[in-house]
């Protein structure tokens, strides 16, 4: 399956079957039918703030039903490691409706901030020549579900930056005001190196509304994009999302660094359903 530079999009107004049509067209059903690993869904739940700042529980619930249909019996986990110093990820799950969703669907919720870790090393990584990450990331099919957002430091926060929720505060808070504060220093190189160790196997991007200027507040996109997008290439998905936010991917450091190495930011092959 040729996936580099390929992104599928669908307008939400296409009806209740939009998500199924998108994921089928993108090839996820085919991959799920042969998948032998547990599935780890990684939403963006950086803080206990409502959508569009965070990934809606209702969207993840739809995705869970889709996975159950296409990969019966596979263990499904929703994992996140929140960034706030004031509370733990379980609180975010409760406030944003994930706890009730998990009870309805029979899936597991996991605080990635507390998971057993593996220590990895890559000499090619300048920012993180060594990195600690949850072991479960390497035991799972990783399905990222970010929301469309600008970011004041990184330009955008989409699927590659969504991986920052996986890093352990034990190693990456370093006295900062946020649980992953050390990533704010040289953020683009930090995000790029992180994704060299582990990036998403598949991404479902919620671009229904979009945060126009910042990731924790401020104005939403006007007009709202009203779309979902999906693909196996994280760099292509991020390039696509940057364009929706009226940003050139070449001006977004971590996308520019990853282009040609972890995926293709250009030329994009966007298929509209």
CA 163 – CA 133 distance, rounded (Å): 10
* Mean pLDDT along residues 244-268: 96
pLDDT of amino acid 269: 95
Please indicate, yes or no, if residue 1 is contained in any of the structural domains.
Answer: no
Q: Which helix (H) or strand (E) holds 272?
A: strand 269-272
* Mean pLDDT along residues 69-79: 95
Please indicate, yes or no, if residue 257 is contained in any of the structural domains.
Answer: yes
Q: What are the residue ranges of helices labelled H in the chain?
A: 18-26, 28-34, 57-70, 89-95, 98-105, 159-162, 169-172, 187-197, 234-244, 253-258
Q: Which two tokens stand for residue 267?
A: 């030329």
Residue 14 has pLDDT above 80, yes or no: no
Whole-number Cα distances in Å, 72 to 11, 23, 69, 116, 248: 28, 16, 6, 27, 41
Mean pLDDT of all residues belonging to the chain: 94
* Cα dihedral 267/257/1/148 (nearest 10): -80
For 79-101, the pLDDT digits (tens) are: 999 999 999 999 999 999 999 99
Please indicate, yes or no, if residue 250 is contained in any of the structural domains.
Answer: yes
CA 76 – CA 70 distance, rounded (Å): 12
For 198-242, the pLDDT digits (tens) are: 999 999 999 999 999 889 889 999 999 999 999 999 999 999 999
pLDDT of amino acid 80: 98
Residue 16 has pLDDT above 70, yes or no: no
CA 138 – CA 135 distance, rounded (Å): 6
Please indicate, yes or no, if residue 150 is contained in any of the structural domains.
Answer: yes
For 157-206, the pLDDT digits (tens) are: 999 999 999 999 999 987 767 899 999 989 999 999 999 999 999 999 99
Number of domains in the chain: 1
Query: If you write DSSP's letter for every residue of 217-241 in order, what string do you get?
Result: SSPBPSS---EEEEES-HHHHHHHH
Provide the residue range defining the domain that includes 81.
Answer: 6-272
Residue 13 has pLDDT above 80, yes or no: no
CATH classification at residue 101: 3.40.50.11440
The 10 Å Cβ neighbour count of residue 102 is 20
Burial readout 24-56 (b: 16 or more C-beta within 10 A, e: otherwise): bebbbbebbeebeeebbbbbbbbbbbebbbbbb
CA 82 – CA 47 distance, rounded (Å): 6
Q: Which residue's structure tokens are 């092959």?
A: 269
Query: If you write DSSP's letter for every residue of 29-77 in order, what string do you get?
Result: HHHHHH--SEEEEEE--SSS--TTSS--HHHHHHHHHHHHHHSTT--EE
Which of residues 137 and 217 earns the better pLDDT score? 137
pLDDT of amino acid 175: 73
Please indicate, yes or no, if residue 84 is contained in any of the structural domains.
Answer: yes
């Amino acid at each position: 399956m040729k996936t580099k530079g390929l992104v599928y999009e669908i307008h939400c107004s296409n009806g209740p079957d939009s998500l199924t049509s998108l994921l089928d067209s993108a090839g996820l059903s085919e991959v799920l039918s042969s998948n032998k690993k547990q599935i780890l869904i990684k939403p963006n739940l950086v803080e206990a703030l409502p959508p569009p700042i965070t990934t809606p529980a209702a969207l993840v619930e739809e995705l869970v039903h889709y996975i159950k249909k296409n990969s019966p019996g596979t263990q499904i986990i929703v994992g996140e490691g929140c960034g706030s110093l004031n509370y733990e990820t379980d609180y975010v799950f409760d406030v944003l409706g994930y706890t009730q969703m998990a009870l309805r669907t029979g899936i597991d919720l996991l605080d990635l901030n507390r998971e057993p870790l593996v220590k990895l090393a890559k000499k090619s990584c300048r920012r993180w020549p060594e990195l600690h990450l949850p072991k479960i990331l390497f035991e799972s099919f990783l399905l990222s579900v970010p929301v469309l957002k600008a970011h004041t430091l990184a330009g955008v926060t989409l699927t590659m930056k969504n991986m920052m929720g996986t890093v352990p505060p034990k190693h990456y808070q370093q006295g900062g005001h946020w649980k992953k504060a050390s990533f704010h220093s040289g953020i683009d190189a930090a995000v790029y190196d992180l994704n060299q160790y582990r990036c998403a196997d598949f991404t479902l991007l919620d671009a229904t509304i979009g945060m126009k200027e910042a990731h924790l507040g401020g104005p939403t996109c006007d007009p709202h994009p009203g779309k979902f997008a999906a693909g196996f290439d994280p760099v292509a998905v991020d390039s696509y999302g940057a364009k929706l936010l009226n940003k050139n991917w070449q001006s977004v450091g971590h996308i520019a660094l990853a282009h040609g190495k972890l995926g293709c930011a250009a030329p994009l092959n966007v298929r509209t359903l």
